[in-house]
Chains A and B, each alone.
Chain A
Amino acid sequence: MRNAERLCLAHFCVAFAAFLGAAMLGAWQMWVRSPLGANIGTPGQYFMSVTAHGVAMAYVLSTFFIMGFGYFVAVTALGRPLPGKVWAWAAFWMAVLGVVMALVPILLGQASVLFTFYPPLTASPWFYIGLVLVVAGSWVWCVLMLVAMRAWKRENPGQPVPLAMFGTVANAVMWLWTTVGVAVELVFQVIPASFGLVQTVDAGLARTLFSWTLHAIVYFWLIPAYIAFYTMVPRAAGGRLYSDTMGRVTFILFLIYSLPVGMHHLMMDPQHGNGWKFIQVLLTAFVTVPTLLTIFTISASLEIAGRLRGGRGLFGWIAALPWERPTVLAAGLAFVMLGFGGFGGLINMGYGMNAMVHNTSWVTAHFHLIFGGSVVIMYFAIAYEVWPRLAGREHPSPAPLRLQLWLWFLGMMVMTLPWHWLGLQGQWRRVANFNYADPIIAGWGPLVVVSLGGGLVLLASALLFVRNLAVLHRSPVPTLQRPLYALAVHPPQRVPAALNGFGLWNVLVLILMLLAYGYPLAQFVIAPSPAAMVHRVN
């Protein structure tokens, strides 16, 4: 096995190890909040578990997976060795050290502040420093992605950067912008407070800085799924990508519209004027554009594949698609979950409607369906496509792969649809237990049990996923040489510089961020609000 392959596998192994542990914790959390397991465990244990679940899923699984996938794309799409392998390994070990540093205080009960921190709560400083190391590792990855693309452009002047790499670099650029908010919050507010250097934290400022990160981070997790939609799914279906340009525009729109929109997470917060909230909500509405572009382009690409396979009529091409192939199946299931999750997100985005579902299970359902559902099922699909190429072995049978994907889809739908409904009924989130003796809460019981059933199916799927990869490693079948990335119907010969790099878009992001976050952040300096007492949980 070559060095670059070992690098990718090392990242994937850390990502999915964290995923498996977090899936088990998730199932336990659902059990203790259901009528079946009511009052097992203490609230302290519950919040420790939620913190570990969130950190493992949102920071460890996503970051390590995206880094590993990025290195893989840089080598395979650009067809040249990865620059700075030593740096890549150093970043990997730094991030692993960061995970350990964060995990130990969590398990000691010294960091039960959830993955979104919630200052003025402050945990052990090692928790935050560990997470800063994970982010710093990902910054090295961002720089390596930019260096790889620049070197390729130098060697291939005037040529369009392959779409998979263009999407990866768009994600890296976005991540550099994204992490500024949380990095400033941690370094200048939360870590000094956790060391006891300051006694108060301006919670409004901290929440505003975190909102800078909070929405774009979701697109950081999402973009690998979109890269797979554009570059892997049409090939797996046996067709071509309908439009390469549409892919480039999608990734660019994600870059510019994912950042100046985070204030829609603060609609109930009093520290900002409604005008700023309106501007950011309007910009949020434009985030739907790249998603709708993608649904159109990928549906068109799949239609090409379906018709090439003999599909006829208005919908006949859908039945003609090779659904037995895990990548195609995963994309179809991801689209269904993206549909439900996306419409739920439109509710969250509206000021008035958000007020009704704010801090209820609706929100939990929404982000589990989008990230846990659409995105993670595509992580599985990518792993199933990429892992054989890294390990040099082929899956002995696709049947357990398909079963695993179906279980994940069914589990996620069964878990999150009742949560949506319970959220509309007012079931609050971020609580350790429910009093089922209360007649109103007792009425929620049956739906909570149904969603627990979904959670257990998800756990079974997570175990099956790891089992499928373990079987792959012992498989006697050598890997088949087959192309991974789809060609476009009209492969681009030359593209404008705007669609081949990020200079223009960085300028626009800067302007948008200054307009959307300039005064809302400056007001904390112009007229400081009363700061909140630091509240230590360690």
Chain B
Amino acid sequence: MAQSSDSEPHALDRPWRIWASAAVLTIVLSGVLLGVLIIPVVQGRSAGIDAYTAICRALGILPGSPARRQVLDRTPPTPVSQVVWTPDVLQILADARPERGRAKVQEVCFTCHGEQGVSVAPEFPHLAGQSGAAIYKQLHDYRTGSRTHQQMTEIAKALDEATLADVAAYYAAQPKRNPNPAALAEAPPAIVRLVELGDPNRNIPPCAACHRPGSGGPIETPILAEQGQEYIVRQLQMYASGERRNDVYGRMRTIASRLTPAEIDGLAAYYRAGFR
């Protein structure tokens, strides 16, 4: 009894198997016919594209939409920086070792930037706890002439790719000092607002959108916390005047040219105090 009732559903099942499979396959095959053959060929004809190309585009084998001619931009690129973040470069940064960088720092860099990354004079940037990718990018730019400096250009040209990465990793590994709570309390609300929310009416994005670690800026974005005030003011002035121009897409030149001198001073003071 149990056997007969068990086999009965299977007898009932045969038409289900056939019809369900046929229905599903019909639907999907009509999708293939329409989506890969008929529509691309018809649309391609009106766009002057031959049937074979249109079908290949619909399948994603050739680039481009079946309905539109592709316009090629033949303008030669003029990048402001020669750094390309290829997987190889990223791997060099990931493989960099602070211990190897220390020797070069003690040999060359410490005279201005300090052995611990705390610079000896206000015109030199502090490098302690700076992003390794940011240091690498600036050194590379000095090497290729995208950024110029009397001493740094010569120093960077003498270093190879792996050493740049090691030096960057060494300074990135140096601890920052603690934020100064007294200065933290003094930050004027207008400056805090500029950092956190920007000023949409002047198309100024918030500084923190990029310069807070992990916030979403490009990989080469430097960390500004505890940077020297005079150094930041000088860099913003140079961006505003166009004297410094190794910022990709001119982001910082655009932003800095919209800041008032008082805002530049205020932001520099804000970041000197150790805000992130």
Contact = CB atoms under 8 A, between A and B. Distances in A.
Given A200-B87, A286-B27, A512-B24, A275 B214 contact: no
Contacts of B27: 282-283, 286
Contact of A520 (B9, B60, B93, B197): B60
Contact of B215 (A256, A276, A504, A537): A537
B34 A282 contact: yes
A438 B200 contact: yes
B31 A39 contact: no
A239 B201 CA distance: 62
B155 interface: no
Interface stretch (B111-119, B173-181, B205-213, B224-232): B205-213
B259 to A, nearest CB: 18
Contact of A158 (B5, B13, B28, B200): B5
B219 interface: yes
Given A43-B208, A272-B60, A282 B2 contact: no
A497 B12 contact: yes
Contacts of B197: 39, 42-43, 433
A275 B59 contact: yes
Interface string B84-95: 010100110110
Contacts of A273: 57-61
Contacts of B75: none
Given A200-B90, A275-B40, A158 B58 contact: no
Nearest to A509: B24
Contacts of B90: 199-200, 533-534
A196 interface: yes
Interface string A486-499: 00000000111111
Interface string A512-538: 100110011001000000010111111
A274 B13 contact: no
B87 A274 contact: no
Contact of A256 (B24, B30, B59): B24
A199 B94 contact: yes
Interface residues of A, number: 54
Nearest to B60: A273
A495 B59 CA distance: 41
B136 to A, nearest CB: 13
Nearest to A270: B63
A43 B87 CA distance: 30
- Looking at chain B's contact residues, the main secondary structure is helix
B82 to A, nearest CB: 17
A274 B35 contact: yes
B36 interface: yes
A516 B208 contact: no
B216 interface: yes
Contacts of A523: 60
B35 A498 contact: no
Given A42-B208, A279-B31, A499 B16 contact: yes
B31 to A, nearest CB: 4
A235 to B, nearest CB: 26
B183 interface: no
Contacts of A512: 24, 28
Nearest to B11: A496
A504 B15 CA distance: 12
B28 A515 contact: yes
A445 to B, nearest CB: 14
Contacts of A346: none
20 contacts: A43-B196, A44-B208, A44-B212, A158-B6, A158-B8, A256-B24, A276-B60, A278-B31, A282-B30, A282-B31, A494-B5, A496-B9, A496-B13, A498-B13, A504-B16, A504-B21, A512-B28, A531-B87, A536-B214, A537-B215
Interface of B: 2, 5-6, 8-10, 12-13, 16-17, 20-21, 24-25, 27-28, 30-32, 34-36, 39-40, 55, 57-61, 65-66, 85, 87, 90-91, 93-94, 193, 196-197, 200-201, 206, 208-209, 212, 214-216, 219
Interface of A: 39, 42-44, 109-110, 121, 157-158, 196, 199-200, 256, 260, 271-279, 282-283, 286, 433, 435, 437-438, 494-500, 504-505, 508, 511-512, 515-516, 519-520, 523, 531, 533-538
